[in-house]
Amino acid sequence: MEPIEAFARELNSGYPGTGIFFGEPMRKHTTFRIGGAVSLYAEPKSIEAFVWAVRELKRRKIEYMILGNGSNVLFSDRRHELAVLGTARLDTLRFAGDTVISGAGVLLSRVSSGAAKEGLTGLEFAHGIPGSLGGGIYMNAGAYGGEIRDVVEAVTYLDAMGTLRTVTGAECDFSYRHSRFEGTGEAILSATLRLRPGDPAKIRERMEELDGMRREKQPLNLPSAGSTFKRPENGFAAKLIDEAGLKGLTLGGAQVSEKHAGFIVNTGEATFEDVLGLMETVKERVFESSGVALEPEVRIIK
């Protein structure tokens, strides 16, 4: 029996009900709707199952990665010989005073909506971000002047050796679109957020205001991974791309959004190569016109 099949059988035996899929296309699990099949896709249904799965994958020397809502990831179209562990079922969420305790797989929209109902302010900016809490912590997601680092009190994670650990928000090494977890092989499992008491009506009003701004300015009707490039120092990627005359530029099924130049969108049948090629063209043309070297915000899995 292949190692990955043996692993899957033991995972399902030890933790019945775990979602396990062989040869699963990643286009089904990413907001770009692009990506080839992986050897195994599994969604452990508890932290205990998730910890077992990570430790076993390490022990068996099976290559793997952790995936949240897939909202900031671009997979190539080839077959990927690896296991992907989705965090969607790490979905516990509870409130205690001004504290939020949430599993890594809970969508940021759900956390922020729950906070609003509890009369807690501080997460309004995150309501329209299409990612999970774990993914938001991983990349220090932010919008409209707010960032995840503003509210994170503690994060529980599995380190590269398979040991459960907890760090404070201050120890997460947050910076623009970065945290200490980036590229370390550590798996974020849950987090504690510290918010502030507020007026539920005003909190909801602010969320609706930001949602309206997103609908007006962003191409939410087409698959994408959100902002394609990081904000450069002393400027905005979308403005530089627009000034370079690249709005609407198309390569295959990929397009620089006509609505928001900071987004590359999938107009229907975009391939990995379409998106990657268009990103390279944008980077080259922006550098030619402004001298600014754009850096991808999207995580690229080749």
Residues with catalytic annotation? 177, 227, 297
Dist CA 130 CA 211 (whole Å) = 12
Closest listed residue to residue 112, CA positions, set 132, 96, 97: 132
Residues 6+ apart with CB under 8 A from 151: 122, 123, 169, 193, 194, 195
Dist CA 113 CA 132 (whole Å) = 13
Do residues 229 and 220 touch, judged by C-beta distance below 8 A? no
Dist CA 51 CA 158 (whole Å) = 7
Do residues 57 and 64 touch, judged by C-beta distance below 8 A? yes
Do residues 254 and 243 touch, judged by C-beta distance below 8 A? no
SS3 state of residue 8 = helix
